[in-house]
Each structure stands twice: as structure tokens, then as C-alpha cells.
Amino acid sequence: MSRNEGVAPAVPAAFPGVSEGVARRLALLGLRRPCDLLLHLPLRYEDETRLRPIAQAQRTPGSVVVEGVVSRAEVRPRPRRMLTCTIEDDSGAIQLRFVNVHPAQQRSLVPGARVRASGEIRPGLLGAEMIHPRWRLVAPGTPLPDRLTPVYPTTAGLAQAVLQRLATRALEGCDLSDTLPPALLARWGLQAFEPSLRLLHAPPPGAPLQALADRSHPAWRRIAFDELLAQQLAMRAHRRARSARRAFALPTGRGSLAAQVLAAAGFMLTEAQARVSAQIARDLERTEPMQRLLQGDVGSGKTIVAALAAAQAVEAGYQVAVMAPTELLAEQTHRKFAGWFAGAGVEVAWLAGSLPRRQREAATARIASGGAAIAVGTHALFQQGVAFARLALAIVDEQHRFGVNQRLALREKVTAASAGQEAHLLMMSATPIPRTLAMACYADLDVSVIDALPPGRTPVATRLVSAARREEVIVRVRDACRQGAQAYWVCPLIEESEALQLQTAVDTHAALVAELPGLAVGLVHGRQKPAEKAAAMGAFQRGETQLLVATTVIEVGVDVPNASLMVIEHAERMGLAQLHQLRGRVGRGAAQSSCILMYQPPLGPIARERLRVVYESRDGFEIAQRDLELRGPGELTGARQSGLPLLRFADPVRDASLLEAAAGAADTLLDHAPAAVERHLARWLPDAPAWLRG
């Protein structure tokens, strides 16, 4: 745990008129100034503008508002302490039930008190009841609200009434002037900012609840556009600022080192690999820092393209850092690079947090002296105490696993490691990124795509099998291994408990050892010591074990051409991209390969759709698009943990047309209306870090 983790934010000094406790709770929601409430928009709305007789309300679905006089109230100690009270009007009676009783409730809800309550009425043991309704004491004839009631995102101890009051105060006291030119609003058919915001905080009676709920209302469209525009402005400004910075120019020179690396790899580049390799080479020749994303489906050959880029930097007399998110992937990358560069006499250092102190110090010294031209490792490469002599290129594999914040902030780290001269940055991802998501999250990058697999790769046959046929699957694994093949057995993803997932892997390994006598069965999981993990993977790669039981730690990077069979247990628990990545661990040789997706019936509709898509398609981009539609953009990019300006209101799938418009508008504003850009970013990204503003 970091030093600041779990520590409540400091009390905002700029929130007048609220207690310290309320200020702390507001800060937990990211609300540190009164005007932050403007963009803290409701999750949904309750219609409390209409009062219904109690008898009629009991026949009305959804939330209703009733009013009556308390006829009975008592606190019941068992089976759980709760307050129940009955309210009556001329038409009937219902019961209000509250768990975790507060003294203020007991003092207020007494016989004779007039109560207005809103909520959903459900049948209970003692008749119709509302559980934990919103309520307040009223006098006879108290008027009803003249607006729909907003329900805001909140946190424990922060009542809706407080947020509603503060939002109303913000609407009256904060600047609601438009940040965008009228011509731009007219071009895209957008309504003005102030009426949009006022409507969303307090919709009038008769406002279309469905359009507000599904965010198709014109007021929501304006907010979604503004949010997308702020993100596009920030990312594009970051990209433009790059042109003013300077990096080492890395001429292609003779290209003899690249030729030696390619010869050591033992294969020719595909047309797609050659095309993207040429794009990268041209970038490296320039003094403008490269920031390029290299996409390629599972097994498309991104690593050799990265190695050729590294060769260009090394031949020009500079160093290269290659970073991977896990030691398993980093170690495999190191093994490939070391093999490819060994014949040319290029030293490839290995640096990871698990290295013994002496080995770590030796590797660090070789990197600092420039003796190691290439350093491969985990994030340990950019930790304190690691210095490069002449770093000119940083390569980040599986960059989406680092989070977008880390990806953008990495520029500062590699610049520091390059003695003030900016290093080129090449990011790689085997998770194809749909176009709309790329526009939203990678507008600051140039993108290259390897859109074809190398020749000789056999398509992987995908099979869906019920868990009830587990014994048949075990027989299939046994027969394949006895015929000389190797297989993976992937244990289920158990997100709620890493310890339970570990135990499942251990138990599965023990069961398969017992059920498959005569086969060597290995085990790999994320909690093993690096040496144990490396030993298990090494044995499998050398063919000493026929079956490898593993958690999803093998999702990326593991390359064993002889492995032609994979079994994934409880495949219904995994996302589409993850299933596609795992399936890509087989089919890397010439043998016919299969992936068995074992599921536990009955399947829910989303799980059924996921399995159908991965069964029918081998196209990573098509699978990624469906994954985006099923899971949402935050889950696919890691944006929710990344520090990227998170899209709270817009959705790249639903709002694809608005995203296109925002991208075009961002370029126009950056070119012709810098003052509008500043005002817009000040409203939407007031606390944006320096690396995001370019």
C-alpha cells in the first residue's frame, strides 16, 4: 500500500457553508469546489411531482409518492432491530420499514405526525410496505415539487438532500456561460450549455424520463459532446506539443544490424510487418519524438518489428529499453532479444524486481555505463537508481496493461533517463482496439496495424463443451499428449478472490496429475516466486512437461509452438478479449490446434453471446468491437484505474457520431480559438496533470 492509499482527502478550503465532515465526503466524490457540482450530474430521476392516494399507489408500479398520518410506530428488536410505522389516508394504509434505526427517526415518526414518503410499494408479511423510503414531515397542504427529483452519485453519509441543495447553489453562483462559439453549436445541432445543465439538474414535470434515462435527450447530447471535446482537446494538444520537443535522430544507416537480427530470427517479414517496420523507421529518423502504437492480433509478429526498431537505435549508437507488464512476458522477450542480437555482439541486459541484489546491481551498472545496449525488464527499468547512458528508444509491450495514465506519464520518465533529450516511444498491443475507442483514448498517438498473420499459422478450431463432459475433455488431452503434442489447461477466473483462484489452480493441478498418470503436468500461477514460474515455463517450453495447468497469467506472450490444445474452464466468466488472447497461445506452430471452451450451464444472455462470438470469429478487431459493446470502454482500456480523463457521460459506442464531431471541432478550436480551448479545459479538466496538457 502506498503512503497515501486509504487516507481521506484534505478538507477543501473552497467549500463555504458546509461542515468538515460533509466537505470530506464531497472530496471523496472528487468535489472540491462549489462549481464541481455543475458536472456532478444525476444518475436518474424520481417523479415526486404527483401525490397518489395510498390505495391507488399500491396498484401503481415503480416509485410513487404518498402522504398520510402515522397511526402506529414501534421498534422491533428481532430478528433484526428495525423501526416500523403505519401511515394512513382516507383510502387506506401502508407500512414504512427502516433497518438500522436512527434516534431522529424515532423522535419524528410518532403517532399523529404527517409524513410524505416516496419509494416503491411491495407486498410484505404484514401487508403493503415501503422499505427505506425517502420521507419528510409535512404540514397539511404542503406543495409538491415542481421539478423531477434528481438522484446523484453519492457516498456513505452524504444525503441526497445535501447534494440537491449544493447543486442548486452552484447553478445560481457559478459561471454557466458557453465555452464554445455559436457557429460550432449550430454546425453540430447542439443546444446551449446553460439550459442543458439546468434541465439535467432539475427537469420540469413532463420531461421525457426515457430520453433522460438512456441519455438521448438533447441536453445529454450537449454534455456528452462537451466531455468528448475536452478529451480530444487535451489529447491533441499533447500531440501537438510533441512537435516542439526534440528526440535523438536515429538514421537507418547501413541497416546491417537489422539484417543480422532478421537472419537470426530465421524468417522473412510479411508484407504487413515490412510496412509498419518502415513507418517506425521513418519516425526514428526524425528529431520529433515518436509516439506510436503498434497493434497486431495474437501471433502477428510484433516482437520482431520491435527488435528491428531496437536495431536501428543501437546501430546509431544509442540504448533501448524494452518494458513488459509481467516478469513472465518480460523474461520471454529478453530470451528472444538476447538470441537475435547475440550473433552481432550486442549485450541485452535483464532487469526485474525479483533479481538478487548482486545481479541487479551488475545489470544496473552495465546499463548505466552503456555496456548493455538493450535493457529488457518490467517497470523496474524506470525506478529510482536505474540510469541509462544514452537512452533513445523505449518499447512498451502490452501497453494497455499499464493504464493510460502510466503510458502518458512514461514520457517524463524516459526523458529523465535520456539526460533531457526525449526518447522515442513505441507501444505494442495484442488487444485490437476498435476505431471509436482508438479515437477516444489514443488521439495523441500515431497508430500502425499488422493486419495479417505470418504464413504457416494454422487456424485454431474452437469447441464449446459443457462442464458435464469434463471426462471426455480429459481423455482428449491425454490422447493428444501421448501423440507428442502439448496442452494448456486454464483455470477459471475468480475475480472476487485471488486466494480462491490460486487454490483452484492448485486443486486442478492435483486432480489432473491423479487423472492423467504417465503425463508430466506442470503448474503456473501468479503467486509463484519468479524462479518457480520460470522453471515451470522452461520445462514446458523444452517439452519436459506435456500439460501445463495455469491461471490467466499465460494470457499474453507465452510462445510454445508445440502446444496445440488448450482447455479453458468456466470460459463463461471471461471477457471476449481475454478468451481471444488465451486462444492465441495455441496455433503457433504447423500442427492443427484446438481450443476447448468449457462452460457451466445454464448460461446468461451476455455469457452466451460472448461464447458465440469467440466461437464464430477469429478476427481480433471484430471480437474487440463486440467486447467494447458488451463490456464498455473503461473495462477494455483500463481507463477506470488509469487517471485518463474518464468519460463519465459519453460512450464511444453510443456517441460515435458525437466523437467524430468532437475530433473535428478540437482541431478547429486549437487552430483558431485558443481562448475557447482554455475555457473549455478549465471547466472540464481543471486538475489535469501537466503531462496531459502537453
* Domain positions in the chain: 50-144, 256-450, 460-617
Q: Render pLDDT for 524-570 as a digit per residue (tens, 0 to 9).
A: 887 788 778 888 888 998 999 999 999 877 755 567 889 999 999 99
Per-residue confidence (pLDDT) for residue 321, from 0 to 100: 93
CATH tag for 460-617 (out of 3.40.190.80, 3.40.190.10, 3.40.50.300, 3.90.79.10): 3.40.50.300
Q: How confident is the model at residue 493 (pLDDT cuts 50, 70, 90)?
A: low
Whether the pLDDT of residue 688 is over 90: the answer is no
Q: What three-state secondary structure class fits 669? A: helix
Residue 251: count other Cβ atoms within 10 Å of its Cβ.
12
Neighbours of 457 (CB within 10 A): 17
Q: Which of 30-34, 182-186, 436-440 is predicted least confidently?
A: 436-440
Q: Is 90 exposed, middle or buried (0-12, 13-18, 19+ CB in 10 A)?
A: exposed
Nearest to 332 by CA among 61, 524, 569, 134: 524
Whole-number Å distance between alpha carbons of 377 and 333: 9
CB-based contacts of 492, cutoff 8 Å, min separation 6: 501, 504, 569, 570, 573
The answer to whether 361 and 380 are in contact (CB under 8 A) is no
On the question of pLDDT at 642 being above 50, the answer is no
Would you state the pLDDT for residue 692?
Answer: 53
Lowest mean pLDDT among 50-59, 76-85, 258-267, 513-522: 76-85
Model pLDDT for residues 389-402, shown as the tens digit of each residue? 899 999 998 765 55
The whole-number average pLDDT for the span 346-365 is 92
Whether 256-450 shares its CATH topology with 460-617 is answered: yes
**pLDDT tens readout for residues 474-484:** 999 999 999 99
Average pLDDT over residues 371-386: 88
pLDDT of residue 438: 76
Give pLDDT tens digits for 203-242.
998 899 899 999 999 999 999 999 999 989 988 888 888 8
CATH, range 256-450? 3.40.50.300
The DSSP bridge partners found for residue 311 are: none
Report helix angle 674-684 to 218-242, nearest 10.
110
Cβ count near 355 (within 10 Å)? 18
pLDDT of residue 640: 40
> What tens digit of pLDDT does each residue of 60-80 get?
998 899 999 999 999 988 778
What are the C-alpha distances in Å from 260 to residues 265, 342, 483, 691?
Answer: 9, 10, 37, 38
* Residue 469 CA, distance from chain mean position: 34
pTM of the model: 0.76
639 falls in which pLDDT band (50, 70, 90)? very low
- The pLDDT, as a whole number, for residue 498 is 58
Q: What is the pLDDT of residue 577?
A: 81
Residue 150 cell numbers, joined: 434528481
Residue 636's pLDDT is 45
Separation of alpha carbons 677 and 679, rounded Å = 6
Name which of 1-10, 81-90, 259-268, 605-614 the model is least confident about: 1-10
User: Is residue 363 pLDDT above 80, yes or no?
Assistant: yes
312-342 as b/e, with b when 16 or more CB fall inside 10 Å? bbbbbebbbbbbbbbbbbbbbbbbbbbebbe
- For the chain, percent of residues with pLDDT exceeding 90: 55
Whether 694 shows a pLDDT value over 70: the answer reads no
How far apart (Å, rounded) are the C-alpha atoms in residues 495 and 52?
Answer: 45
Summarize the confidence of residues 454-467 as an average pLDDT.
Answer: 85
pLDDT of residue 533: 83
Q: Mean pLDDT throughout 599-626?
A: 88
Cβ partners under 8 Å of residue 75, min gap 6: 81, 82, 83, 101, 106
**Is 546 buried (19+), middle (13-18) or exposed (0-12) by CB count in 10 A?**
buried
Q: Is the pLDDT of residue 171 over 50?
A: yes
Taking the alpha carbons of 295, 297, 303, 308 in that order, is the dihedral positive or negative?
A: negative
The pLDDT-based confidence of 641 (bands split at 50, 70, 90) is very low
Question: How many Cβ atoms are within 10 Å of 132's Cβ, its own excluded?
Answer: 11
Q: Quote the percentage of the chain above a pLDDT of 70.
A: 89
What is the three-class DSSP state of 555? coil
CATH number 3.30.360.10 is the correct assignment for the domain at 50-144: no
